[in-house]
Structure formats: C-alpha cells, structure tokens
Structure 1
Amino acid sequence: MIQSGIGLYIHIPWCEKKCPYCDFNAHALPVAHQLDPDLETRYLNQLLHDLDEDIETFGIAAELTSLFFGGGTPSLLSSRGLGFLLAEINKRLPITKTTECTLEANPGSSDHAKFVGYRAAGINRLSIGVQSFSDTALQQLGRTHTRSDASDAIQAARRAGFSNINLDLMHGLPGQTPDSAIADLHYAAQFAPEHLSWYQLTIEPNTVFYSTKPKLPVESFLQAITDQGLDWLQRQGFARYEISAFAQGDALQSKHNLTYWRFGDYLGIGAGGHGKLSRQNATLDIQRTQKTRVPKDYLNSPNRRVTEVPVEERPIEFLMNACRLVEGFALKDFERTTGLAPKALQTFVEKGVQQGLVTASAGRITPTAAGLEFLDSLLLLA
C-alpha cells in the first residue's frame, strides 16, 4: 500500500491545432475554445474510472502533494467540468491546502471568466504556454495566439486572483537572434511571473518540423542566447533550479516537476498518461504505467500497461532526472528511491568528477555548469 504523498498527472489530449514542433500526445480537434459538453462528460467520467482502477490495483491511500493538468490543451475544459473532476478526485485522494494544483493554459483558449472558474474549482497555479512574444515567431511555431492574446491571458489570470503563474518560453527559434531571444524575456518580465520555463526548441521525430527542417540559429547564436539569457534571468531574481526552470524563490519551484526530477512517485491518468509507483516488498519494486494513447480508444477503456523498472535500468533512469537539477542529489536519496546501494554509481561519479561534469562532497553529487550544459555527455558516463 502507498500511503505517503503522491503526485497526480491528468492528461487532456486535445488541441484546437497541433503545433509543428510538438511530439506530445496531442490530437487536433476543431473546437471553439472549449470541448463539446458530451465529450467532456464522457472523458471526465473515464478519468475517474481510470483513477479508481489505479487506486485499487496499487493500494493507494495518500494525500496528493501535487496535481498537474497537462496536454494537449487542458484549458479546453470548462470550469464546471474541472470543478466536478477535482471534487471527485478529492473524495478519493485528499487535496489539501498545501497541494499544488497546476493547469496548463493556452492563451488562445483562455479568458478571465474561465480563469475565475478554474480558481474557484481549486486550481492554484497556472502554466501559460506563451512560447514567444513575437508574432512572427508564433506564426512560425504554428501557434493559434498572438502576442496580444498572450498578454491578455496573463493579465486575465492576475485579475482572476492567481498569484503563482509560470510562463513557458522557447528559445533557439527559426531566425532568432540573441537580441530577439532576450527581448522575449524582457517582455515577460513586465508581468512579474513567479516562474519561467525557458527551454530550447528541439526538433523531434514524428513532428512536422522533423520533415520540413526549419533553419535554426547557428551554434554561436544558440550559445550566446543561453549565456545572455541565464545572466539576465539571474539579475532579475530568477533562481535556476533545473536546466530549464527558474523560480522567484524556493517556495515557487514546481512541486510536481520536482517529483519527476527527484524520481518520486506519481499516478498518470488520461489518454497516454504515464505514472511511476514504488512499493516496498521483500525488495523495492518500481513500476511504470501507461494508458491507451488514442482518445477514442481511451474512452472505451484506459487499458493500463504496467512494466517493471529492472534493477539494471534504475541508475540511468534516476540520473536522467536528478542530473537536471542544479542541486543534484544526495546518495541517500538515490538509495531510497532506487533500492540500490550508492556503489552502483561509483564509476559514474569517478568519471564525472574527472571530466569536470559533477562534484562529489558530503554524500551529495552536484552537476557543474558544464554538466548541466552537456547533460547528454554526462549521462553517457552512467
């Protein structure tokens, strides 16, 4: 039985339009900023059925430390539907005053009334997918909103009472210069966001961009964007705590994402939802869950697939997450979350220290600036 705090990820798989760079489980559904009521009702009921099955199968009786609506476009949900879902979840897994409840919102499908309803339903943190404040860049990215839409959405969220807002911003965009990348950060600063996710565009397989191959900035520009951006963020009071995550203080770091990065446990419900669960039997058992990806199939049955994380794969799975954190990790936490002795990392640590990619002190392994910048090289040492 799992009784300690746990995270809950809820996937909303639909978007008004799928972006050409997106490799997430997102499915285009032409709607006017909100799901059809009948479809929404069916999906919400299936989410609860999905959750009930997970709770029963894994013996979960825990408070939620965090809850995250991702997508897709979660802001296609009505506030009434969201309120119903959160109330039902609370009956099963308590949502407390300290539970972080995040919803991803698209500026094109959000307004003040919807944000007021979301906040009344129990959402206390918004993540607004701005991506850029350049209309030219937004068009290149296939986004359905403009800079004006993004500005309006952020201000509407503030008027609705949200005091914990993350803005998603991308850099390394087609045709972007260091100056235009930093201009995005300057524009974002006027809204005083509590958190920024600032990450570089990568071209992933099975996306439109993978086929069309847009011309991205040259390496010297990418390096200048990164260096100047990190310096600017630091001067603005944004503390970097993960490769692409910046917060105005420790209390404003993303609890839910920290669960991932610290190899913690979480449920994943919804079409294509992923979860990770640990159970102490004679040894520590770690399992990953995945639900049916295609929405119409999910509506028939979540069809959970459960796979064991083999002992030999646990070190790299742990490191892929923990080495993204500026704080690194304590060896005792590696032992607690993987069930393995710290000596399993001996070669990794020795090589990492030798190559200047990590430091090791007082039982803590910490990536250096080079280790954060060249994470792939660091992970090859595992």
Structure 2
Amino acid sequence: MADLNPASVPLSLYIHMPWCVKKCPYCDFNSHAVPNGALSLDLEQTYLKALVEDFKTQIDFAQGRSIHSVFIGGGTPSLISAKGYAWLFEQLKALLPFEENCEITLEANPGTVEHDPFAGYLAAGINRLSIGVQSFNSDHLKALGRIHNNDDAINAIHLATEAGFKRINVDLMHGLPEQTLAQALNDLKLAVEHGATHVSWYQLTIEPNTVFFRTQPILPVDEVLEDIQEQGEAYLKANGFINYEVSAWRKEQPSAHNLNYWQFGDYLAIGAGAHGKVTQPDGVYRYQKTRLPKDYLAKVPAENLQFKKIQAEDMPFEFMMNALRLNEGVEAKLYLERTGHPISQMADVLDSLRQRKLLVEDEQRLACTEQGHIFLNSVLEEFL
C-alpha cells in the first residue's frame, strides 16, 4: 500500500441534529421525537456546546486542511434556531477555517413550527437549503406521517426564495402508498414550477425497524414503479435538469458536499450518531458517534468515537459503492490517490464488468454504462 497524502483529499463536515417533532413511519435515520413536544432553548444550547467540544477532538484529523463543505442533517435540523447556527459556525471557524464560498447546506422541513424565518439562516451563513417536501399531495403526506400539507410545502419554497436563497433542493419520494403515475409526476411538476434548483428524487423503500416494516402499506406494483421512473426522468430532462447521480438532479451546480462523498473524500462528523471518514498517512478510517442524544451528551467527546480502519480487502467495495453512483463516474487514477491501493487490486472484476458492457470501456474512467446503472446493486456486489 502506498502512503496517502491527506492534504490532497477534500475535507467536509457533517453535523447531525437528532430531533424531530415526531418520528415518521418510514424513517430509519437516527432521529428522535423532541422531549415534551418542543426543543427547549436550554437543550439547544447544551447540544450546540457539545458539538463544539466534539469538533475540538477531531481537529488533528484535518491534517492542516480547511473545511470544504458543511451538511447539517437529521432529524430536523431546522428545529435549531438561526441564532444558534450563527454561534456554532463562529466557534467552529475559530478552530478550523472554512474555505471561501464554503457550501453550507441545512435540511429544513416545510412546517413553520419546524424552522425560523429562512432569512435568519441565510444571515447565519447557510447558503443552500434542502427542503424535505417528500410529496405535494396532502393524502400521501398524511400516510407518510408528515406534519405539513401541500400548501406548507409550496409556501416553504417561496419563502426560501424570497429570503434570498439561490440554491434550493427539494427532497421528493416516489412509489408512495397507493400512489398513481399521475400523482408522482405531479409532485415533480410542482417542485419544478415553484422554483427548485435541485431535486433529490428517490423511491420509498421499506426499511427494518420502522413502522412501515411492521405494518406494510400497499405500494404501487412494479409496472407502475417502472412507468414512474421512466416518465419522471423524461420530465426532469425536458425541464433542463441534469441527472448527475442515481437520485440527484440539478439545474445549477451539483451539491459539493454530496460530490465529496461520492468521490471518496473525507468528512468530519459531529453530533449524536454522526458518521465520519478520514484519510491518514497510514490508511483510511471510518468512525461513528454514540447514537442516542442523552448518551451523546452524557459522555466526553473522546468516548463517543468508534474508530475503524478500512481493510485492503474491503476497499474496492467501499470506493466503488460511492463512485459508481455518479453518472460520469470518476477518473481511474482517483482510486490509488484516495485509497493508497493499486487499481490492479480489482483488475479481474473490472475486466469482467467491461466485457459484459456494465462498465464503460475507457480504462481511464470508472463509470457504469446505462445498463450498469440499471443493475447497479448487482455490479457493486462484484466488488464484495
């Protein structure tokens, strides 16, 4: 294995805010209903201070790098006040500089009970919103356990635009319980017509440890799902959106933060249940933090870290499960640069996939063909 140069790998920051007003029946993320139905100022301040202490313990992982992008996920991160974020960014930047024009994304829910005025978040330094609409159909929203309705969703996009946000991702799911083709296409139409500059559009999957797993809803049949996928993609393309990743469509620049994930970049991680990945001279490491907010707050930050080196035999899958999600893939030379392992480590698998027309013939790129993207999970299994 070659020595790695951490300085050549972009470094992002993931911040996890673990609370929601209520837990949705399809959600398997590390999210928890807020105590007593509302996030108190005292709990907000306690958690923000814990994030700063957590960040301090990870400064050495930066190896002299600045923060390339920030993503605040959850849970419902917009339950935290704009004033709280302004304070948090001030503390973090004093410890480790943020790059000029650093992309800072906040996941926000459409319900007004779940966010401050959007102008406050913009003033605090957040420059990209990801609004968790999921659907513009009030019946489907009710089935999904969402507390907003169609009008709230449309209003949230307009309010964000009026506040000055130029980059607004709308998060949408399809294949919802009893959803028709027309309803799924209407969700996309409303997102586009009301000003989304980026759309994350993905199929609802039933995950273990969710209410939907225990009580299965009636989902559209395969033929309907195929029609939704085909006609939805055609609609987005016809309206100027570029599909640059499996479920990501853009009219503006791509998400810098998500691109860094898919290109096997590094990211620090702070907050309950947050996952991080860092390159050190001797290898690539993943780590995660204690999941439950009460446990996270009760422990000193160093005790929250579960650190594990990615072994040589696991590296092909770890790298490719990210890189092959991108429609254009990545340059082949990135494999050695980001893993320290020669690409010859997986030469037999690459040759086999190219012969079967599942990877592009260009040996300077690692990318799926159109057929390869259709069978992406099967392609990735080859690297296990």
* 1:365 corresponding residue in structure 2: 366
Q: Structure 1 residue 177 and structure 2 residue 177: aligned?
A: no
Query: In structure 1, what is the Cα distance between the partners aligned to 2:115 and 2:54?
Result: 31
| Cα distance in structure 2, aligned partners of 1:74 and 1:31 | 18
Unaligned stretches of 5+ in structure 1? none
Pair 1:81 & 2:93 matched:
no
Change beyond 3 A, Cα 1:30–1:134: farther
**Equivalent-residue separation in structure 1 for 2:323 and 2:23 (angstroms):** 30
1:347, 1:304 → 2: CA distance? 36
Cross-structure match for 1:270: 271
Alpha-carbon distance in structure 1 between the residues aligned to 2:243 and 2:234:
10
Question: Distance in 1 between the 2:203 and 2:310 partners?
Answer: 29
Residue by residue over 1:323-366, the C-alpha shift from the partner in whole angstroms, topping out at 9 and shown as x without a partner, is: 11101122100111111111122122222223222112151122
- Contact kept, 8 Å, 1:14 with 1:27, in 2: the verdict is yes
Maintained 8 Å contact 1:110/1:153 = no
- TM-score normalised over the length of structure 1: 0.95
> Corresponding residue for 2:230?
227
Q: Which letter maps to 1:287?
A: Y
SS in 2 for 1:222: helix
Q: Is the 8 A contact 2:359 2:367 kept in 1?
A: yes
**Highest RCO, 1 vs 2 (Cα 8 Å, sep ≥ 6):** 2
Q: How many residue pairs end up in the alignment? A: 375
Which SS does the other structure have where 1:168 is aligned? strand
Q: Which amino acid aligns with 1:286?
A: V
Q: What is residue 287 of structure 1 aligned with on the other side?
A: 285
Cα deviation code 1:128-147 (max 9, x no counterpart): 00000000110110101101
Distance 2:121 2:62 in 1: 30
Q: Does residue 12 in structure 1 map to residue 17 in structure 2?
A: yes
- Deviation per CA, 1:129-183, whole angstroms, max 9, x where unpaired? 0000000110110101101111111111111100000000000111112111111
CA distance in 2, matches of 1:201, 1:348: 31
Q: Give SS of 1:107's match.
A: coil
How do 1:137-286 and structure 2 match up within 5 A?
A: 137-249=140-252, 252-281=253-282, 285-286=283-284
1:103 to 86, 106, 111: 106
Q: Could you report, residue by residue, the CA deviation over 1:207-255 in whole angstroms, capped at 9, with x for unpaired residues?
A: 1111111111111111111000111111111100000001114xx2111
CA contact (8 A) 1:238 1:248 kept: yes
What amino acid does structure 1 have at the position aligned with 2:277? K
Is 1:112–1:156's contact at 8 Å kept on the other side of the alignment?
Answer: no
- Which runs of at least 4 in structure 1 moved beyond 4 Å after TM superposition? 1-4, 109-113
Equivalent pair of 1:112/1:157 in contact (CA under 8 Å): no
Deviations, residues 16-71 of structure 1 (Å, cap 9, x unaligned) = 01111111000111566x62110001100000000001114x35432111001000
Instruction: Identify if the C-alpha distance between structure 1 residues 107 and 144 changes in structure 2 by more than 3 Å, giving closer, same or farther.
Output: same
User: Sequence identity of aligned pairs in percent?
Assistant: 48
Deviations 1:287-331 (A, max 9, x none): 111111000010112411101111110100111111111011221
Q: Specify the alignment match of 1:28 in structure 2.
A: 33
Partner of 2:54: 50
Q: Superposition pairs for residues 324-343 of structure 1, below 5 Å?
A: 324-343=325-344
Q: Does the CA-based 8 Å contact 2:80-2:115 persist in structure 1?
A: no
CA distance in 2, matches of 1:203, 1:71: 19
Go from structure 1 to structure 2 and tell me whether the alpha carbon gap of 1:275 and 1:131 turns closer, same or farther (over 3 Å shift). same
Cα distance change on mapping 1:237 and 1:193 into 2, 3 Å: same
**CA contact under 8 A between 1:352 and 1:378: conserved in structure 2?**
yes
Per the alignment, residue 37 of structure 1 pairs with: 41
1:83 positional shift: 0.5
Q: Distance in 2 between matches of 1:96 and 1:324?
A: 26
